[in-house]
């Protein structure tokens, strides 16, 4: 069996590595001149910047196991302990996010009335039988204000989305599962923690997740480079797939590579490309399926890195801060990159990574680099009192940044799965479908390795 994987982001790379390690013949075709997709780490002027993702939460063994299989587990670095402190800009200032339900009592992140309403979570009424939005779910559990401040900020940090549009079942399936079992999330969490304490420790020798925000000593590129080394010539860059058709029991792909058009035969094809690219390749095969895949929306995001010379700015505290939509600001949030990942800057420099745009302000991503730097500096001055002049700036525009699992996504996915099942030997993989985090992408790739090698 030979497998051709289209797309060399983390999803395609993790799949290729898994198949390659099991001795399956695999070819990965990546249109860009570099592997990694959204993951792009750069080094300049004493700063290590991330164009896309910055980190993963080491909560399940998936990513650590991948790193171990590549011999780079010792290069994983956990965030500075101060990164446990996170802030939200609310009612005129930065306020610390409580780390647990008891800490909420002392916190001023929401006003007293909203805190009292949050305590009523224990008496949440049962879920209606429908695909609920994250906002509807939030209001039912913690009330309107906590939804507008806390739930909105939380989704902004992952999806840069619209809390009224995102489907809770699609974006936080574990939370919905917890609700199904326990009705109240607070009760559910307390019971799960008690059960976990009683459970047996993980097996000897298995890599142990730390639960911490993590990256690698040279940024996430370390993972991409190790995957590229492991795949060698099986991963081809500058190879854009422009057509796909059935041939006998297999597939034939048209590839544009270094100005040449060629054809490639495959027993199995995996489209690990963004949904809008997959839709174009699927259109001649199944128009309806292509339409469903194309309907997955993306939120645009601009990333604005501001670097400060040593001594020009005291290191800001904690992981960073998020700004709920309700505040009507022009920033989505800021990562205190140098405080959280101190190894990413040389001697005393400060690096702030500002996120702009998202589903609610896509217009801002259209601004040019200079305007985005100006916007970020104005907002930092007003929100966090930061007036220092950056010595270094870098702007990345993600016109279609983060897939949005809006209400209807689960039904859409069921229909997409059905459509794909009618095309034997063809598979869809990637962040558009069943999880946007790096760990989700790798977990889904591992599951496909199992399916293909069964
Ligand atoms: C700004 C930003 C910040 C993020 N922050 C985090 C974070 O901190 N933590 C986290 O876990 N996740 C984060 N994410 C999400 C995470 O980065 C992505 O979900 C993940 O990297 C997606 O990987 P992928 O392989 O599915 O897709 P992609 O990375 O999009 O890869 C798809 C690949 O397909 C290639 N391709 C496209 N068309 C073709 C073609 N015709 N032929 C061949 N190849 C083609 C593309 O060039 C690309 O390399 C962030 C995302 C963004 C945009």
* 414 CA from centroid of ligand 1 (Å): 23
Cα-trace Rg, the chain: 22
- What are 269's strand-pairing partners? 4, 426
439 Cα nearest atom in ligand 1? 11
* 114 CA from centroid of ligand 1 (Å): 37
pLDDT score of 331: 98
With a 6 Å cutoff on the Cβ, whether 435 touches ligand 1 is no
With a 6 Å cutoff on the Cβ, whether 31 touches ligand 1 is yes
Q: What average pLDDT score do residues 304-328 get?
A: 97
pLDDT score of 203: 55
Tell me: the pLDDT tens digits for 76-90?
A: 999 999 999 999 999
If pLDDT is split at 50, 70 and 90, which confidence band does 189 have?
confident
If pLDDT is split at 50, 70 and 90, which confidence band does 6 have?
very high
Tell me: the pLDDT tens digits for 78-133?
A: 999 999 999 999 999 999 999 887 888 889 999 999 999 998 988 888 888 899 99
* 38 CA from centroid of ligand 1 (Å): 4
10 Cα nearest atom in ligand 1? 25
pLDDT score of 99: 86
pLDDT score of 205: 58
Residue of minimum CA distance from atom 4 in ligand 1: 53
Residue of minimum CA distance from atom 39 in ligand 1: 31
With a 6 Å cutoff on the Cβ, whether 52 touches ligand 1 is yes
* 442 CA from centroid of ligand 1 (Å): 12
pLDDT score of 204: 54
With a 6 Å cutoff on the Cβ, whether 8 touches ligand 1 is yes
Give CA separation, 61 vs 54, 175, 211, 385, 449, in Å. Answer: 18, 20, 10, 39, 17
Q: Would you give the distance in Å from CA 272 to the centre of its chain?
A: 15
pLDDT score of 102: 82
Tell me: the pLDDT tens digits for 259-278?
A: 999 999 999 999 999 999 99
Residues 143 and 127: beta-carbon distance below 8 Å: no
Residue of minimum CA distance from atom 2 in ligand 1: 52
HSE, CB side, 13 Å, CA atoms: give it for residue 387.
Answer: 1
- 420, pLDDT greater than 90: yes
| Cα gap 309→165, rounded to integer Å | 41
Residue of minimum CA distance from atom 30 in ligand 1: 37
* 312 CA from centroid of ligand 1 (Å): 34
Domains recognised in the chain with CATH numbers: 2-39+219-296+406-453 (3.50.50.60), 97-124+131-198 (1.10.3110.10)
Q: Dihedral of CA 87/90/94/97: which sign?
A: negative
With a 6 Å cutoff on the Cβ, whether 11 touches ligand 1 is yes
How would you list the strands of the sheet with 268-271, edge to edge?
235-236, 25-29, 2-6, 268-271, 426-428
pLDDT score of 192: 82
């Amino acid at each position: 069996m030979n497998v051709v994987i289209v797309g060399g982001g983390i999803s395609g790379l993790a799949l290729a590595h898994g198949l390659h390690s099991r001795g399956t013949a695999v070819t990965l075709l990546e249109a860009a001149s570099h592997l990694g997709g959204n993951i792009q780490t750069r080094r300049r002027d004493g700063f290590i910047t991330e164009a896309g993702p910055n980190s993963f939460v080491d909560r399940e063994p998936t990513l650590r196991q991948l790193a171990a299989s590549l011999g780079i587990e010792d290069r994983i670095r956990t965030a500075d302990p101060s990164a446990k402190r996170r802030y939200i800009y609310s009612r005129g200032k930065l306020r610390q996010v409580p780390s647990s339900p008891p800490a909420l009592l002392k916190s001023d992140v929401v006003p007293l009335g909203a805190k009292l309403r949050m305590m009523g979570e224990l008496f949440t009424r049962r879920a209606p039988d429908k695909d609920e939005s994250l906002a509807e779910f939030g209001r039912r559990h913690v009330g309107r204000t906590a939804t507008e401040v806390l739930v909105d900020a939380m989704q902004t940090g992952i999806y840069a989305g619209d809390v009224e549009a995102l489907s809770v079942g699609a974006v936080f399936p574990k939370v919905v599962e917890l609700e199904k079992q326990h009705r109240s999330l607070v009760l559910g969490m307390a019971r799960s923690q008690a059960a976990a304490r009683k459970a047996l420790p993980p097996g000897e020798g298995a890599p142990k997740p730390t639960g911490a925000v993590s990256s690698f000593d040279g940024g996430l590129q370390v993972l991409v480079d190790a995957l590229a080394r492991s795949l060698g010539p099986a991963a081809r860059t500058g190879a854009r797939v422009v057509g796909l058709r059935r041939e006998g029991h297999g597939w034939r792909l048209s590839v544009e590579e270094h100005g040449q058009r060629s054809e490639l035969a495959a027993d199995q094809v995996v489209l690990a490309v963004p949904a809008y690219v997959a839709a174009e390749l699927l259109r001649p095969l199944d128009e309806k399926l292509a339409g469903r895949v194309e309907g997955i929306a993306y939120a645009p995001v601009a990333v604005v890195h501001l670097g400060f010379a040593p001594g020009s700015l005291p290191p800001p505290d904690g992981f960073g801060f998020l700004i709920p939509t309700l505040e009507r600001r022009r920033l989505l949030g800021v990562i205190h990159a140098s405080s959280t990942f101190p190894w990413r800057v040389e001697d005393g420099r400060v690096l702030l990574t500002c996120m702009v745009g998202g589903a609610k302000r896509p217009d801002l991503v259209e601004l040019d680099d200079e305007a985005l730097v100006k916007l970020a500096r104005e907002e930092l001055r007003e929100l966090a009192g930061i007036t220092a002049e950056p010595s270094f700036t870098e702007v990345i525009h993600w016109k279609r940044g983060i897939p949005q699992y809006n209400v209807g996504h689960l039904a859409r996915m069921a229909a997409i799965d059905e459509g794909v099942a009618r095309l034997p030997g063809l598979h869809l993989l990637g962040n558009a479908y069943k999880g946007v985090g790096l760990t989700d992408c790798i977990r889904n790739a591992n599951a496909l390795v199992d399916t293909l090698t069964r």
